[in-house]
């Protein structure tokens, strides 16, 4: 009997042994967002397993504890303090002796994390993702585990070890959505595994996928996969490394392997494998083509670890003042967007599809770049830009100045973490080291980090300003126009005006007078209380500064710029509202006219490639209205028609704006027809008078995969007031009364009024339209939304939510996993993006009557140097010798004090006068048209006293005596006999 028992035990052990080694372990990543509890306040016992949290608020992450205040209160009034989050969960059955990691995409600001009552980590920078190895703290199934976080989002939060505040925890620009406003994941891996890219917390770098030897015409590149592998077994392990490349449809494009590797117990190694791959599709603007790269570890032929990395491949170049994407020059056009990228009543914690909804609007508006401001965007927005085909400039963390000591160390550490975490995302084109100039030593330190951790990513690293830096690979000022023949210079924030979507113009309800509103810091704030028409016009004027100096216009060019901001933001404001209204769309992403103006003027990589026309405003007025009509068009001329009758051609200014004076309104249709120089029709635009308000129209926008019953997904619903034909009534501002029943909670929208109507079920339309948001519950079912208003036909829609599988607090449904890429613009065109507009004529030398040794500084391609005379009119002369006799027809010049000073000058070509007049003020360069005379020398002479008038005095963000305007010489504001030249260029006509 004993022998039988021994035999049975032997076969039992054999069965267990054979089963455990016949089945390959599958690495898993779980959605860890479900079943959280939170409560504001400090509860010291909340870390403990048996703490009673049954009366706490139940939420699904991402969820900031104060997010319902978004847009209800001004940024500085967002709730701060201590909040606790808790979650109970169980590991899947059969998991033991494995590595267990928690990945937080971020918390705000600092937090202590506990697992089963034990402290497992601290995270404090308030921006970046971090990870925790909880393998030794976790209990296997069926035990219940508890994760608890104590989080403090005080504006003045100090790092525990150093007592130092974080420079970017700033009350002006970094909206403070406290707690856990981003996603959380649980990873289960074997003890031989590829690490996570969470450097500061886990001291690991993860997987790095990159392409070199990129050949765009041949569609080929050398694809390399690098994985950091760690062995936490007690014995050495020998494994093979396999790489599988899947295209966007998950078809295998390539498969290759590295050499077999032996790794000692406790050792970490970087493992690599490369292969030349053909038939590649390259990621591009509006073409978010992404590959899935599987990196696999095998022991004795069996998979022991597999990581999937979604990435894309593209080629970039930065030089000659230009940016190239896939061998094609692209002028940067887009938005400086607050990184919080928030929405009313939900803050930044939106589902992944809504990030796509917002970011794709930028692409559809012909923006190609988003410059996230001050802090690194969360991973969800980074990945969203990958999908929609939107280039990114990624900061780490900063404020409006350089830092020193521990605050600089914080910036360095954050940049290192951000680069390692995001280096596989192809949409990141720029790494930004500061929202203001930093020292050369600091720039070098940041560049070294890039070179160490992302040497093959094809990304330029730089900072705002840095115009003459030898370390920065790009630069550019906040408002001004910069040009370069070397590294790209682009405007980091331009067109800083503000205006509510509610205000069309002075002739439309509520008849808001242009610019009317409260003072800002005791001064007129008319540029921050615009009507839509004036705001859009300013957008056109400001972009023209960069467009006229675009690639193709000379040796020195502007690489473009980003308008601040894309969507209205719960950050520092100047207008009448308690949030910033600089957006070209409002906080619910409903476009203002400025959005459509940009769509017209940005339609091309550099030159205009697709002609568009847009009529500002609407066509619903009264018979008494006679007004100016404005059309934005890329044609050479525009003709306006009212009910088929021509009103003549508009006056063209700023390359794209056509103005028609004294147009009498009459019901019907207004049409703008755009023509080229030959008189051929390019396109047309119309607007039609709507009838009387008749009904409410509801239109939902949902997750492409259906509304998910996870407690976090949302649906948007557009609400419009329409006439009997279904045409929106653009001047209607009716109050709409909503009701909601079913498996959803109400988030609502935003409008001008008490508390901005945040969370209210009574919400007015503005200009005939508004948008509301509802959020699913964790239970699947129907959602009924109805809308009523006095005198209007009511409307109702029904939505259904789809159940998702969650077990013991874990789900395999990753938020962004099934979202499709945007491929609408197609691959990068093979044609050139611009034609050459004029020929630069180069300067050999210059001679001046005063300060002759500095004369070369006026043409040295350095905007931080200048030539000046000695302040006397009689010495205000400088002569340039050209490299060849030329017929110069244009002089392009940047004169010191360009915002405020007007210089009376004349220009001589070999002694013949070719220009005589006063220079205009600008935000950078001006173009002077010269009489064409063949000459070898060009002389600039001061002919009188400088006049002083600030043409941009309403732009209060810039000190009129700022260093970049007047080169530290504040007495120059009152100087009268100065001739001061920052940069000068001469051009001759391009041969036809």
DSSP assignments along 538-571, one per residue: HHHHHHHHHHTTSTTS-SSB--EEEES-SB-BSS
Q: How far is CA 716 from CA 588, 739, 747, 785, 896, in A?
A: 9, 15, 10, 11, 50
Burial of 692 (0-12, 13-18, 19+ CB in 10 A): exposed
d(CA 764, CA 972): 52
Q: Which of 306, 383, 493, 863 is flagged as catalytic?
A: 493
- State both tokens at 291: 């590959």
Bridge partners of residue 506, in order along the sequence: none
Q: What is the dihedral of CA 618, 624, 627, 629, to 10 degrees?
A: 30
Is residue 595 a contact partner of residue 501, using CB atoms and an 8 Å limit? Answer: no
User: Which residues lie closer than 8 Å to 831 by C-beta, 6 or more apart?
Assistant: none
Sign of the torsion angle spanned by Cα atoms 743, 745, 747, 753? positive
Closest by CA position to 629, among listed 505, 731, 498: 505
Whose tokens are 């063209």? That residue is 652
Q: Where are the alpha helices (DSSP H) in 871-979?
A: 963-966
Residue 520 contacts residue 528 (beta carbons within 8 Å): yes
Our CA angle for 234, 239, 243, nearest 5°, is: 135
Chain-centre distance for alpha carbon 220: 29
Q: Residue 311, Cβ neighbours under 10 Å: how many? A: 22
Distance CA(320)–CA(669), nearest Å, equals 48
Report the candidate in 399, 418, 416, 223 with the shortest Cα–Cα distance to residue 312: 223
Q: How far apart are CA 124 and CA 374, in angstroms?
A: 17
Contact 934, 914 (CB under 8 A): no
CA dihedral 113, 114, 120, 122 (to 10 degrees): 20
Task: Give the span between the Cα atoms of 941 and 908, in whole angstroms.
Answer: 8
Least Cα distance to 720 among 733, 702, 703 occurs for: 733
Task: Confirm if 663 and 627 have CB atoms less than 8 A apart.
Answer: yes
H helix count then E strand count, the chain: 9, 58
What whole-number distance in Å separates Cα of residue 859 and Cα of residue 843? 8
Rounded distance, CA 591 to CA 584, Å?
Answer: 6
The Cα 178–Cα 161 span in angstroms is 21
Query: Which is it for the CA torsion 432, 316, 335, 108, positive or negative?
Result: negative
- Residue 276, φ and ψ in degrees, nearest 5: -70, 130
CA 243 to CA 297: how far, in whole Å? 9
Looking from the CA of 472 toward its CB, the CA atoms found within 13 Å total 26
Cα separation values, 462 from 25, 444, 559, Å? 44, 10, 14
Catalytic residue check, 493: yes
- 785 alpha-carbon distance from chain centroid: 33
Say if CB 580 and CB 530 are below 8 A apart: no
Residue 363: CA atoms inside 13 Å, Cβ hemisphere, count? 27
Show which residues are catalytic.
Answer: 493
């Amino acid at each position: 009997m004993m022998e039988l028992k021994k035999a049975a035990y032997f076969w039992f052990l054999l069965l267990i042994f054979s089963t455990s080694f016949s089945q390959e372990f599958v690495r898993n990543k779980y959605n860890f967002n479900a079943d959280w509890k939170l409560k504001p306040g400090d509860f010291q016992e909340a870390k403990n397993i048996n703490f009673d949290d049954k009366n706490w608020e139940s939420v699904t992450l991402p969820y900031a504890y104060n997010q319902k205040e978004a847009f209800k209160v001004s940024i500085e009034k967002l709730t701060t303090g201590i909040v606790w989050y808790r979650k109970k969960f169980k590991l899947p059955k059969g998991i033991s002796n494995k590595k267990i990691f928690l990945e937080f995409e971020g918390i705000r600001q600092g937090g202590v994390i506990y697992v089963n009552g034990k402290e497992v980590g601290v995270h404090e920078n308030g921006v970046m993702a971090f990870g925790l190895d909880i393998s030794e703290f976790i209990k296997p199934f069926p035990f219940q585990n508890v994760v608890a976080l104590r989080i403090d989002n005080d504006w003045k939060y100090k790092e525990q070890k150093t007592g130092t505040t974080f420079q970017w925890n700033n009350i002006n620009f970094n909206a403070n959505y406290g707690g856990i406003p981003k996603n959380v994941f649980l990873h289960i891996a074997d003890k031989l595994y590829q690490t996570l890219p969470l450097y500061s917390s886990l001291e690991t770098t993860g997987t790095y996928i990159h392409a070199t030897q990129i050949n765009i015409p041949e569609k080929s590149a050398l694809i390399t996969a690098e994985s950091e592998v760690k062995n936490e077994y007690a014995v050495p392990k020998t494994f093979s490394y396999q790489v599988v490349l899947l295209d966007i449809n998950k078809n295998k494009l390539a498969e290759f392997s590295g050499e077999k590797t032996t790794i000692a117990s406790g050792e970490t190694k970087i493992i690599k494998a490369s292969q030349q791959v053909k038939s590649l599709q390259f990621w591009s603007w509006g073409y978010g083509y992404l590959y899935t790269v599987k990196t696999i570890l095998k022991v004795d032929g069996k998979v022991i670890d597999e990581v999937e990395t979604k990435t894309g491949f593209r080629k970039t170049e930065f030089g000659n003042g230009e940016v190239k994407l896939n061998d094609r020059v692209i002028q940067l056009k887009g938005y400086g967007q607050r990184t919080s990228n928030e929405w009313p009543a939900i803050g930044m914690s939106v589902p992944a599809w809504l990030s796509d909804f917002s970011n794709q609007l930028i692409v559809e508006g012909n923006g190609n770049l988003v410059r996230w401001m001050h802090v690194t965007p969360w991973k969800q927005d980074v990945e969203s830009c990958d999908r929609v085909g939107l280039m990114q400039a990624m900061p780490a963390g900063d404020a409006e100045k350089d830092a020193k000591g521990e605050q600089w160390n914080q910036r360095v550490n954050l940049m290192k973490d951000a680069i390692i975490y995001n280096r596989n995302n192809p949409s990141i084109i720029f790494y930004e080291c500061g929202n203001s100039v930093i020292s050369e030593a600091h720039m070098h330190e940041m560049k070294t980090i890039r070179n160490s951790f992302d040497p093959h990513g094809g990304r330029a690293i730089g900072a705002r300003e840095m115009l003459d830096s030898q370390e920065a690979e790009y630069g550019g000022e906040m408002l001004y126009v910069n040009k370069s023949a070397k590294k790209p210079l682009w405007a980091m924030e331009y067109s800083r005006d503000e205006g509510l979507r509610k205000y069309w113009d002075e002739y439309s309800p509520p008849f808001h007078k242009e610019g009317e509103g409260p003072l800002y810091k005791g001064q007129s704030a008319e540029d921050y209380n615009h009507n839509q028409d004036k705001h859009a016009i300013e957008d056109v004027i400001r972009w023209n500064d960069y467009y006229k100096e675009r690639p193709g216009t000379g040796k020195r060019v502007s690489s473009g710029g980003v308008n601040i901001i894309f969507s209205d933001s719960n950050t520092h404001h100047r207008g009448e509202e308690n949030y910033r209204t600089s957006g070209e769309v409002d906080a619910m992403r409903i476009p203002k006219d400025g959005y459509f103006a940009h769509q017209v003027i940005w339609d091309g990589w550099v030159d205009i490639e697709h002609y568009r026309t847009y009529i500002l405003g609407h066509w619903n007025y009264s018979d008494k209205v006679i007004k100016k009509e404005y059309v934005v068009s890329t044609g050479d001329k525009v003709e306006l028609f009212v009910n088929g009758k021509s009103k003549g051609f508009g006056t063209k200014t700023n390359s794209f704006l056509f103005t028609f004076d004294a147009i009498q309104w009459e019901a019907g249709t207004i049409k703008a027809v755009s023509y080229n120089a030959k008189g051929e029709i390019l396109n047309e635009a119309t607007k039609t008078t709507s009838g009387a308000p008749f009904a409410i129209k509801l239109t939902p926008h949902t997750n492409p995969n259906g509304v998910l019953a996870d407690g976090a997904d949302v649906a948007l619903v557009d609400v419009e007031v329409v006439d009997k034909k279904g045409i929106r009534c653009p001047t209607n501002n009716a109050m709409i009364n909503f009701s909601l029943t079913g498996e959803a909670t109400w988030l609502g929208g935003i409008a001008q009024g008490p508390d901005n109507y945040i969370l209210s079920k009574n919400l007015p339309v503005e200009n005939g339209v508004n948008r509301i948001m509802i959020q699913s519950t964790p239970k699947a079912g129907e959602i009924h939304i109805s809308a009523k208003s006095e005198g209007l036909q009511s409307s109702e829609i029904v939505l259904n939510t789809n159940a998702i599988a969650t077990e013991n607090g874990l789900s395999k449904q990753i938020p962004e996993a099934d979202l499709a890429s945007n491929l609408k613009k197609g691959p990068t065109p093979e044609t050139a993006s611009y034609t050459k507009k004029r020929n630069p004529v180069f300067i050999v030398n210059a001679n001046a009557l005063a300060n002759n040794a500095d004369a070369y500084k006026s043409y040295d391609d350095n905007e931080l140097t200048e030539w000046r005379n000695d302040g006397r009119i009689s010495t205000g002369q400088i002569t340039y010798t050209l490299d060849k006799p030329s017929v110069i027809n244009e002089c392009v010049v940047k004169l010191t004090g360009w915002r405020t000073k007007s210089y009376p000058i004349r220009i001589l070509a070999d002694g013949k006068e070719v220009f005589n007049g006063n220079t205009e003020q600008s935000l950078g360069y001006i173009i002077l048209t010269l009489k064409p005379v063949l000459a070898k020398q060009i002389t600039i002479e001061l002919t009188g006293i400088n006049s002083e008038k600030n043409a941009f005095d309403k732009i209060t963000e810039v000190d009129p005596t700022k260093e970049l305007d007047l080169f530290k010489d504040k007495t120059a504001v009152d100087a009268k006999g100065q001739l001061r030249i920052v940069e000068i260029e001469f051009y001759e006509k391009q041969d036809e």
